[in-house]
Amino acid sequence: MQSEQQPAAHLTVPTRSARASRWIVKHPWRVLVAWAVVAGALLSVGPSLSQFTNADQTQFLPDRYESVQGVKALERAFPSSGDATGALLVVTPADGGQLEPADRPALERLVGGLRQAGIEGLTKVESGPDDTAPDGSAQLVDLGLRGEGVDETLDAVRDRLPGLLAGSGLRAGITGDAAIAADVDQALDDAEAIITVATIGLIVLLLGVIFRSPLAALLPVVSVGLVFAVATKLIALLADAVNFEVSPSLNSILLVVLFGVGTDYVLFLLFRVRARLREGAEASDAVAPGLERVSEAIASSALVVAAAFAALLLAALQDLRALGPGIVISVAVMLLAALTLVPALMSLLGTRVFWPSKSWQREPAGPISARAAALVGGRPRPVAVATALLLLVAGAGALAFQPSFDAQANLPDNAPSKRAYVELQRAFPAGYLSPTIVVVDGADLADPTIERSVEGLAAELGSQPGVATVLEPAVSRDGRTLQLPVVLDADPTSVRALDLAGGALRETTRGVVPGARTFVTGESAAYADVRSAINRDYAVVFPVAAGLILLILALLLRSAVAPWILVGAVGAGFAATLGAAVLLVDELGGTTLCFDLPITLYLFVVAIGTDYNILVVARLREELREGRTPAEAAAVAVRRSAATVAAAAAVLAGTFASLALTGVGSLVSLGLAVAIGILIAAFPMACLLVPATLTVLGRRAWWPRDPRATPEPREER
């Protein structure tokens, strides 16, 4: 692997930045004490991030959507008693057969035993003839759960089931919204532990192989670990101040983002310092100049990532809006650490950071980098065309993307609520667990004309293709609001259910009941609105993120053309990544792709892909300023930068791939897809497509300024 790695900054480093770098290296203990004091103060006060998490994606919809308006109408008309709906006990014969009359006493003992168990938070245990499956293979028991300790209540019920069913030949499991949410929370808690161990282990292993030094391997673990603790506390304080909820997967995503991006920043500095040492500099004179040269590249990288995710503030979904500030804050703290904490630690360690290896003292051959450089410099046009075609072919697979809205896809197969749901699906219509609710609000339901209209509406709904049955309606105490449960014959989160609840059923309800407002809500309708919101967010966030990055690159490169090449390349890389993810993750891997994957994948690939492009293009521009031809400059840039890009991509792709170990569907698909995107961004895009294209365009790529007209100031030795 090539050792000269970090491209030199292409702009003159300001004197103030140089003075700051030298001060940090000269006073490392002051820097470390400052970090310790600030981190200690933050971590000792305030709330934790877990206090602001919400696992229900449908709760992140804005009020303008019909499903939200329907829920609010129900809350006004049917004041909450504190019960959490959607918890169902599914009782089936252990032998997989049918319930017999002889099983009735055991079912009654089960219901009576739960009622008399005195379980805190369990407010309702009800079951009747209507709760028996049409084929007699299952019996449902409706559970009412109240209070904040729903998870503990569910655990208490599950603990009682074996005793209450002993000797009956029956088995039971709990599913429904509350049980699924509890199991998702548990799965994410388990996932965070797995990610932490896997990510740290992978970073230590990869950096140990690259530098053959335990200290170099542990440096990013220590620094990024501190940054993660500080950043999550700052996010929690922000959430508390402005009263917003975040997805429970934020912690897991931040772990891999910070360890991945943070390790990249540490690598950039390690490579630059190692290069200085190889040139004969003393250890005391290597860190400050290295930091001066690498600081602009690190700052530019962090700014691009922050700008990309800041675009999420324009998203309609609260879940995505909350993800944006979290990552922006975390990257900002990581940037501060990379420019202060890490160089201070390296200054204290000196050459011991590479101990016990001596390989840092000699230059490796780097045959792969040399071959890539020869291709780009010698045959830029065929390389650019072939790489672009490869990305376009891979991108065609993106047209087959089918988003999943199934919360249970986040659950491992052995999750209790998932097993119970499978039993329920075998015995009842697929939509029985979560009926679609038609709300009729604001009419005098006692009026005979209105009553006939409601009866006609129920009949019309029942005749719709895809509707299994219409259940008994419920009327509010004031007689002006009615809720009509509609059971679909499709899974509530399937595309068919979303199309039906968000389309035909809503059209059916319009204007049927005179003087009333009608809403279609429930899980299927809510996810239909989520789908509309995410499609809207695609149209807003994608161009805004690209525009912000384009502006940053234009200011950085002082060019009106080159930034378009870089952004166009990462756009092609995103399409290729999504296409490859559809094939490798969805089709071959057997893991569904979450509905919000394209937008998060886009931001990661655009931000990280631009990061690698900056590294290569900065070096290419520097070589042009040294008087080399475009072909020579591209060859040198690839040869000198490929090692850094390869090392950074290996670490970052590996950290994201560790999400696949969690068993949580959305994290598995995100981790594998981003890992694919990072590898695409690093190799065919940053090391081949971009430098080859810039070589073909030559001087035109840098219009209106020719970089050869303004020689690059030499680094002070």
Q: How far is CA 661 from the centre of its chain?
A: 15
Which CATH number applies to 419-528: 3.40.50.1950, 3.30.70.1150, 3.40.50.2000, 1.20.120.1810?
A: 3.30.70.1150
Q: Is the pLDDT of residue 417 over 80?
A: yes
Look up tokens 């290296």; give the residue.
25
pLDDT greater at residue 170 or residue 260: 170
Instruction: Return the minimum-mean-pLDDT range out of 17-31, 151-165, 583-597.
Output: 583-597
- Average pLDDT in the 654-677 region? 82
Q: Can you give the pLDDT at residue 91? A: 92
Residues 622 and 634: their CA atoms lie apart, in Å, by 10
Residues 32 and 27: their CA atoms lie apart, in Å, by 9
Which CATH number applies to 66-182: 3.40.190.10, 3.30.70.1320, 3.40.50.1980, 3.90.1150.10?
A: 3.30.70.1320
Nearest to 290 by CA among 3, 25, 670: 25
Residues 640 and 2: their CA atoms lie apart, in Å, by 7
C-beta separation of 508 from 486 below 8 A: no
**15-45+183-407+529-709: CATH topology:** Multidrug efflux transporter AcrB transmembrane fold (1.20.1640)
Domain boundaries, the chain: 15-45+183-407+529-709, 66-182, 419-528
Residue 123 is inside which H or E element, if any?
strand 122-126
Question: For 338-341, which contacts have Cβ atoms below 8 Å and span 24 or more sequence positions?
Answer: 338/223, 338/262, 338/265, 338/266, 338/269, 338/298, 338/302, 339/24, 339/291, 339/295, 339/298, 339/299, 340/24, 340/31, 340/35, 341/31, 341/32, 341/35, 341/223, 341/226
The two tokens of residue 29 are 């203990």
Whether omega before 356 lies within 30 degrees of 0, making that bond cis, reads yes
C-beta separation of 550 from 571 below 8 A: no
Residue 594 burial by CB count (10 A; 0-12/13-18/19+): exposed, middle or buried?
Answer: buried
Per-residue model confidence as pLDDT tens digits over 258-286 = 887 888 888 888 887 887 777 777 766 77
Residues 88 and 252: their CA atoms lie apart, in Å, by 30
Separation in Å, CA 706 to CA 297, 380, 616, 695, 696: 21, 20, 18, 14, 15
Q: What is the mean pLDDT of the chain?
A: 83
% of the chain exceeding 70 in pLDDT? 89
- Average pLDDT in the 314-340 region? 86
Q: Is the pLDDT of residue 713 over 70?
A: no
Q: Is the pLDDT of residue 7 over 70?
A: no
Confidence of residue 187 (pLDDT cuts 50, 70, 90): confident
The neighbouring-strand residues paired with 484 are 438
- Average pLDDT in the 425-437 region? 85
Residues 45 and 219: their CA atoms lie apart, in Å, by 27
Which SS3 state, helix, strand or coil, does residue 86 take?
strand
- Average pLDDT in the 349-370 region? 71
Q: Can you give the pLDDT at residue 582? A: 87
pLDDT greater at residue 586 or residue 189: 189
> 229-257 burial string, b = 16+ CB within 10 Å, else e?
ebbbbbbbbbbeeeeebbbbbbbbbbbbb
Q: Is the pLDDT of residue 50 over 60?
A: yes
DSSP symbol at 144: E
- Average pLDDT in the 156-181 region? 88
| Common-topology check for domains 15-45+183-407+529-709 and 419-528 | no
Q: Please, which residues have CB within 8 angstroms of residue 576's CB and are 6 or more apart in sequence?
A: 390, 391, 392, 394, 395, 680
